[in-house]
Amino acid sequence: MVPSVENLKRLTSQQFVMMASGTLMVSAVLLSHDNPLGYALLLLALACGAGAFLKSRHKAS
């Protein structure tokens, strides 16, 4: 099954936080080993964090 925008829309804020935390940890390990891919994962972690915030605000309204 190919992930789609609909799949992303179904994710809860809790799932976004877990994705952000995991991605942030891997990004930190990569950056510790001077791997520039860590910056891309850092951006992904920030995006997941923003997604978690938007989801929680959407739920609250």
Minimum separation from the CB atom of position 2 to another protein (A) = 25
**Closest of 21, 28, 8, 27 to residue 49, by C-alpha:** 21
* Residue 42 and residue 24 in contact, taking contact as beta carbons nearer than 8 Å: yes
Measure the CA–CA gap between 53 and 43, rounded to whole angstroms: 15
25, 40, 43, 54: residue in contact with another protein (rule CB under 8 A): 25
Among residues 3, 4, 32, 36, which is the contact residue for another protein, using CB under 8 A?
A: 32
Binding site residues, another protein, CB under 8 A:
14-15, 17-18, 21, 24-25, 28-29, 31-32, 49, 53, 56-57, 59-60
